[in-house]
Amino acid sequence: MIPSRVREQAAGPKGADDAAHRPKAGRHLELLGVSKSYGSGRLVVRDVSFTLHPGKFLTLLGPSGSGKTTTLMMVAGFETPTAGHVRVNGADVAGLPPNRRNFGVVFQGYGLFPHMSVLQNVEFPLRMRRLSQDKRRDLAMAMLDKVGLEGFSGRRPAQLSGGQQQRVALARALVFEPDALLLDEPLGALDKKLRDTLQAEIKALQARVGISILYVTHDQDEAMMMSDEIAIMNDGQVIQMGAPADIYLHPRTAFVAGFLGETNLIPCVHCGSDGKIASVKFTDGTFGSGLEMRHDRERGEGKAGLLSIRPEAFEFLTGMATAPNQIDGRVSDYTFLGRHERYVVAALGQNVIVSQPGQGRPRVRIGDAVRLTWAGEKGQLLSRQT
């Protein structure tokens, strides 16, 4: 491991008031009520609060314009919040310019310095921190080793592939042991296979180095794959935050249900509840059930709502079997997608998407009348407003 005196020298840039920001394990990043508006008064980020715990991977996930990048930039110091606080280990970083905040940032496009070699790029933050030439070199080479680019130290960024440049950017952002790593859609420009590989590598790197990561992306697969926690953002606000499985299985709004994965939203009316499972009535008079809504105040008999059922939660009822949850419809489309098959069933006045493990031969044919069923816990009752 790195000797402690080298660690101290690798401390954040000079300044007595920076003592609180010397890198140590266990540093919390907190956002409290952060908002950002531009001149026109339009709020780009609204009252965002979350905590990134040490060593954790938190992703800000949302569509373009949801404010996720602006939020990241406020953490990094390139934007100033118009309200709220950004705190590192309790200390407000508001007064600190970006070059004193000790975060490692990987931008879209990586921002590698084209006129410097890979090694010089990675050494740069160490040079800013006044490390001696030997120590710089050792640390930088070790970091390059860690990202699998030993031997590339003499090359220029232009001579590297996209994936390699990505890794240099990561190495450069990590080499000075920052308090956290901030990544702004770093894999956007790469093809799918490379993205998958790098996602795994980033995750593995995090495990090895133990650093906290704040990640921004619009790709929900990516978010699910890498994150300990996901904060879903839309229109400047955090809509829901939690572990990937949690959000996936228990979306709080129709937006979240539709954004993370695919879902069917079936209009219904709330007509009973046992506390955990709610009974609903569909437009054609049939009944179904799903998980009760989380927020107590949204519950209410007779209230209109949406029942969210993921395509993979459905099963086809065959033969004479019946089930308490049942929807009748007619198959209108079928697609084979390798890992799964996708059926479109016209039911209840809408297209219901059903997904089944792929087996090559369709279970039902287009035009067949079918009955769909699902387990109550696999449905989620949501209120009509997003």
71 versus 308: smaller Cβ distance to another protein = 71
Given candidates 1, 5, 41, 64, which one binds another protein under the rule CB under 8 A?
A: 64
- How many other β-carbons are positioned within 10 Å of the β-carbon of residue 203? 15
Assigned token pair, 155: 């090359």
**Site membership for another protein, residue 9 (CB under 8 A):** no
340/357 Cα distance (integer angstroms) = 4
Given candidates 111, 242, 258, 362, which one binds another protein under the rule CB under 8 A?
A: 111
Assigned token pair, 343: 């059926």
Tell the smallest beta-carbon distance from residue 163 to another protein (Å). Answer: 14
What DSSP string runs through 322-381?
A: --SS-EEEEEEEEEE-SSEEEEEEEETTEEEEEEEE--SS-SS-TT-EEEEE--GGGEEE
Q: Which residue type, as a one-letter code, is found at position 281?
A: K
Measured CA to CA in angstroms, residue 165 lies from 1, 49, 51, 121 at distances of 26, 32, 30, 11
Query: Is residue 121 within a helix (H) or strand (E), and if so which, with residue range?
Result: helix 118-128
Contacts of residue 39, Cβ cutoff 8 Å, sequence gap at least 6:
none
Q: Return the residues of window 71-90 that contact another protein according to CB under 8 A.
A: 73, 76-80
**Site membership for another protein, residue 17 (CB under 8 A):** no
70 versus 263: smaller Cβ distance to another protein = 70
Tell the smallest beta-carbon distance from residue 366 to another protein (Å). Answer: 38
Number of residues in contact with another protein, rule: CB under 8 A?
48
173 versus 268: smaller Cβ distance to another protein = 173
Tell the smallest beta-carbon distance from residue 272 to another protein (Å). Answer: 45
194 versus 277: smaller Cβ distance to another protein = 194
**Site membership for another protein, residue 59 (CB under 8 A):** no
158 versus 245: smaller Cβ distance to another protein = 158
Given candidates 22, 53, 85, 100, which one binds another protein under the rule CB under 8 A?
A: 100
**Site membership for another protein, residue 104 (CB under 8 A):** yes
What's phi and psi for 163, nearest 5 deg?
-65, -40
Residues 232-265 as b or e (16 or more Cβ within 10 Å = b): bbbbbbbbbbbebeebbbbbbbbbbbbbbbebbb
Single out the segment in contact with another protein by CB under 8 A; choices: 182-190, 222-230, 255-263, 300-308: 182-190
233 versus 268: smaller Cβ distance to another protein = 233
Q: Residue 74: which of 50, 45, 53 has the closest Cα?
A: 45
240/197 Cα distance (integer angstroms) = 28
**Site membership for another protein, residue 15 (CB under 8 A):** no
**Site membership for another protein, residue 335 (CB under 8 A):** no
109 versus 324: smaller Cβ distance to another protein = 109
Single out the segment in contact with another protein by CB under 8 A; choices: 153-161, 223-231, 290-298, 306-314: 153-161
Q: Residue 228: which of 348, 99, 58 has the closest Cα?
A: 58
Tell me whether residue 138 is exposed, middle or buried, using C-beta atoms within 10 angstroms of its C-beta: 0 to 12, 13 to 18, 19 or more.
Answer: middle
- Count of residues making up the chain: 386
Single out the segment in contact with another protein by CB under 8 A; choices: 105-113, 223-231, 265-273, 275-283: 105-113
What DSSP string runs through 149-171?
A: -TT-TTS-GGGS-HHHHHHHHHH
Tell the smallest beta-carbon distance from residue 23 to another protein (Å). Answer: 12
120 versus 355: smaller Cβ distance to another protein = 120
67 versus 84: smaller Cβ distance to another protein = 67
Q: Footprint of another protein on this chain (CB under 8 A)?
A: 12-13, 38, 44, 64-65, 67, 69-70, 73, 76-80, 97-105, 107-115, 124-125, 128-129, 156-159, 165, 172-173, 176, 184-185, 188
